[in-house]
Chain A
Amino acid sequence: MAEYRMVEHIPDLIQPEEYERHPEGRLVRISISVDGGGVQVLGDAFRPEVLERLLETLGPDAIEQMLCG
């Protein structure tokens, strides 16, 4: 299972103006980038559990997450 690392900052991919367009909270947005260090998958979702399941399926070494508060 991937190790979760708590980090200071992760950029948002979903903006507050979009909340009302997705009342059921089904929106997931993914950005994939490749550089010399490998592939980075950045995700944002209204339902964190959905995003976590998705990222875990990709089998990464680590999943970075922001904390609340």
Chain B
Amino acid sequence: MGMQWTPAVLQRRRHGRVQCLLCPFRCALEDGETGLCGVRRRTGDRLETATFASSVRHWDTVERKPLYHYRPGTPCLTLAAPGCTFACDYCINHRMSQYGREDSVRWDAEPVDAEEVAGEAAARSGCVAISYTEPSLAIELTAALAESGRPLGVDVVWKSNGFLTAEAVDLAARHVAAVNVDVKTLDERDHRDLTGARPGPVLDALTGLRERGVWVEVSTPLIPGLTAGPGTLRPIARALAALDPAIPWHLVRATPAHRRTGHAPTPVADLAAGVRIGREEGLRHVYVERALGAVGRATRCPRCRTTVVARDIWALGENALEDGRCPRCGTAVEGRW
């Protein structure tokens, strides 16, 4: 089925244009114009979105987002509307995420029935995830899924680039239970090179989401020659620790993909060094999914270092927490358990 345009939220009139308030690009659109993301447009006086739709309907686990401190082991019915506010040159998902930015990417999404999706997630005591592409572009779909899911106990979670305006953060916080935000680098030039956008709004958004009660975890891709070294990782770790040392930080191995193919995969030593940097800066929970084995994925009590949640690859191993506390020393471990 082709694209269907439905009414969008977060807009205002400005100097004869309709301005989209969803992401910090704040596109001011003439009638008939489409925004930089390629999935929001102006028709007459209204803003429309193509993102009440999904290319996939995949079951996976919350550990894959990755969210490690949010209901471990929860199955996630995952949707993805094509489109992204970033144009990352290393994106593994570019065949879906770069819709509207690269002509070769075709629209293959189908409209979503929010009630039906929430019902399917409820039947497996799961949640609904919006992931693989940029979920904030599907804020209207997110709201509909959250409203359908609420009476059934079904949460909505995101894996997001965090490129949201304050207005979008306000709205998202009402509907999203947990989000993993990518913080790729805090260096202005590197961030622009990688994504086409500034890094500042990303930190602001993750701060705003946390303040409004959304459970936030952070991922950083370690791209050799660009973001894999201490010059990138230490400032990120420091910024996160200043916000809250309990924010889980996921260090992600990068493999050459899309247009960034001139490097080797992230060396294991760089991932291990990143873990040390995170700890030195005071972060309590720093994770590496595969390269450091089960130790890299385990949650330890911040006080007595007992393993309180053991994980397999993309799956829960054992959750030993008792009411969110270490079974040995009783220390509370931050998360939504």
Contact = CB atoms under 8 A, between A and B. Distances in A.
Interface of A: 4, 6-9, 16-17, 19-20, 23-25, 46-49, 65, 67-69
Contacts of B60: 8-9
Interface centre among A24, A25, A46 (most CB of B within 10 A): A25
B256 A67 contact: no
Nearest to B253: A19
A67 B255 contact: no
B92 A49 contact: no
Contacts of A9: 60
A69 B256 contact: no
28 contacts: A4-B95, A6-B55, A6-B95, A6-B96, A8-B60, A16-B291, A16-B293, A19-B265, A20-B268, A46-B255, A46-B264, A46-B265, A47-B255, A47-B261, A48-B92, A48-B256, A49-B256, A49-B258, A49-B261, A65-B95, A67-B80, A67-B93, A67-B96, A67-B131, A68-B93, A69-B64, A69-B132, A69-B180
B256 A68 contact: no
B57 to A, nearest CB: 9
Interface in B11-52: none
B317 interface: no
A69 B64 CA distance: 6
A23 B269 CA distance: 10
B67 to A, nearest CB: 11
Interface in B144-196: 159, 180
B336 interface: no
B157 to A, nearest CB: 11
Interface centre among A4, A20, A68 (most CB of B within 10 A): A68
B267 interface: yes
A68 to B, nearest CB: 4
B291 A47 contact: no
A20 B131 CA distance: 30
B101 interface: no
Interface of B: 55-56, 58-60, 64-65, 80, 92-93, 95-96, 131-132, 159, 180, 253, 255-258, 261, 264-265, 267-268, 290-291, 293, 313
Nearest to A24: B264
Contacts of A25: 255-256, 264-265
Where chain B touches its partner, the secondary structure class is loop
A48 B58 contact: no
Given A8-B59, A48-B257, A69 B264 contact: no
Contact of A47 (B55, B95, B256, B268): B256
A24 B290 CA distance: 18
A20 to B, nearest CB: 5
Contacts of A67: 56, 58, 80, 92-93, 96, 131-132
Interface centre among A17, A48, A69 (most CB of B within 10 A): A69
Given A6-B95, A49-B258, 18 more contacts: A4-B95, A6-B55, A6-B56, A6-B58, A20-B268, A23-B267, A25-B264, A25-B265, A46-B264, A47-B261, A67-B56, A67-B58, A67-B80, A67-B131, A67-B132, A68-B92, A69-B131, A69-B132
B303 to A, nearest CB: 29
Contacts of B265: 19, 25, 46-47
Contact of B159 (A23, A24, A69): A69
Contacts of B59: 8
Nearest to A45: B255
A27 to B, nearest CB: 10
